């Protein structure tokens, strides 16, 4: 095994082991905030990984990816409002809603390219956002409060912060492994080929459109799963989950960590949210500080933070 292959496998392993030890740290120092904050980071990491799958692998710059977070969250919240708390019902519904929305919007969006694709995904995302704000029966612009977390087999198995953290951790690990296998398969190679030269693939008799659409649906369903987890973690659902600002933040996480590397998206999510938490403690205009830092990373760290880590390791 070459040194580069070993390092590419070792880094994700170290990353996931460190994440698995967070509850132990929180327990030793009796720090509930760390547990809650880490859980939120992992939820956004799931969404960032799903976005990196279509953005880094298939060059699909979706500016409406946050819509799926809201769809998954509202699926769980609305069902809870009607006294349906079983996760074996609400989570599949969240996946189904996100998948159908991705299928319909993707079938239209993927007929376009470049800035047109960006704008049409943004438009669909804003449609979902304004639809959520108009749902007066479910809180409208004020959001919807859940009075507890989803149940598993009629029990509050994941009601505790630690058990819920490991549920989110398992979802992130499962998502990462799934997308990594898909990326290494023939399906992933077709997406990479379409990114490099679509006419060449078509000349070989391969239709990239269908592959892109399936990838778009997979990413949408994964983001909807994260939305279902977010609704349970916060016990609150808000249209703000769907805003285009959130989609922009997700793109920043992916670029910051390293475009095209799934564990880079996880690293980007961690760094982005930690910087947001730290800088916002000093000033409400923290983005004025974060912006130049992001520019420096883009200019001088080829491949994002992951590229910087690999560069240091190879020295």
3-state secondary structure 2-37: CHHHHHHHHHHHHHHHHHHCHHHHHHHCCCHHHHHH
Give the pLDDT score at 45. 96
- Which residues does residue 152 pair with via DSSP β-bridges, in sequence order? 155
- Which residues does residue 155 pair with via DSSP β-bridges, in sequence order? 152
Closest by CA position to 151, among listed 87, 215, 205:
87
Q: Mean pLDDT over residues 242-249, rounded?
A: 90
Choice between 113 and 311, residue whose per-residue pLDDT is larger: 113
Give the pLDDT score at 1. 44
Which residue is it, tokens 């969250």? 73
pLDDT band at 192 (very low <50, low <70, confident <90, very high): confident
Q: Mean pLDDT over residues 261-288, rounded?
A: 89
For residue range 289-302, what is the model confidence (pLDDT) as tens digits? 888 888 888 777 77
Give the pLDDT score at 6. 43
Closest by CA position to 268, among listed 280, 279, 258, 260:
258
Q: If you average pLDDT over each of 98-107, 108-117, 203-212, which comes out highest?
A: 98-107
pLDDT band at 306 (very low <50, low <70, confident <90, very high): confident
pLDDT at 313 over 60: no
User: For the residues of 233-250, what is the DSSP string, one character each?
Assistant: HHTEE-GGGG-HHHHHHH
Q: At what angle do helices 208-234 and 66-81 cross, to 10 degrees?
A: 50
pLDDT at 58 over 60: yes
Q: What is the DSSP letter of 151?
A: B
For residue range 84-97, what is the model confidence (pLDDT) as tens digits? 999 999 999 999 99
Mean pLDDT of the chain: 88
pLDDT band at 310 (very low <50, low <70, confident <90, very high): low
pLDDT band at 211 (very low <50, low <70, confident <90, very high): very high
Give the pLDDT score at 291. 85
CATH number of this structure's domain 3-314: 1.10.3470
> How many Cα atoms are found within 13 Å in the side-chain-facing hemisphere of 169?
20
């Amino acid at each position: 095994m070459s040194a580069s292959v070993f390092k590419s496998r070792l880094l994700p392993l170290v990353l996931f082991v460190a994440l698995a030890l967070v509850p132990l740290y929180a327990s030793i120092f009796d720090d509930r905030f760390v547990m809650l904050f880490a859980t939120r980071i992992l939820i956004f990491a799931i969404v960032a990984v799903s976005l990196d799958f279509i953005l880094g692998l298939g060059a699909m710059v979706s500016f409406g990816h946050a819509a799926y977070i809201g769809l998954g969250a509202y699926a769980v919240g609305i069902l809870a409002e009607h006294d349906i708390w079983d996760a074996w019902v609400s989570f599949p519904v969240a996946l189904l809603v996100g998948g159908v929305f991705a299928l319909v919007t993707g079938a239209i969006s993927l007929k376009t390219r470049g800035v047109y694709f960006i704008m049409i995904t943004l438009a669909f995302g804003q449609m979902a956002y304004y639809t959520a704000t108009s749902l007066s029966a479910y809180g409208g612009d004020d959001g919807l409060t859940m009075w507890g977390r989803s149940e598993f087999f009629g029990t509050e198995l994941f009601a505790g912060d630690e058990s819920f953290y490991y549920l989110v951790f398992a979802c992130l690990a499962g998502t990462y492994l799934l997308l990594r296998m898909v990326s290494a398969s023939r399906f992933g190679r077709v997406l990479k080929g379409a990114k490099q030269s679509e006419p060449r693939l078509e000349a070989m008799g391969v239709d990239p459109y269908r592959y892109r659409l399936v990838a778009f649906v997979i990413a949408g369903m994964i983001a909807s799963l994260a939305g279902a987890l977010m609704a349970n973690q916060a016990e609150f659902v808000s249209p703000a989950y769907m805003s285009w600002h959130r989609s922009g933040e997700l793109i920043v996480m992916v670029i910051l960590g390293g475009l095209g590397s799934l564990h880079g998206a996880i690293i980007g999510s961690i760094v982005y949210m930690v910087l947001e938490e730290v800088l916002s403690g000093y000033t409400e205009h923290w983005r004025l500080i974060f912006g130049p830092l992001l520019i420096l990373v883009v200019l001088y760290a080829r491949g994002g933070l992951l590229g910087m880590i690999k560069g240091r390791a190879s020295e």
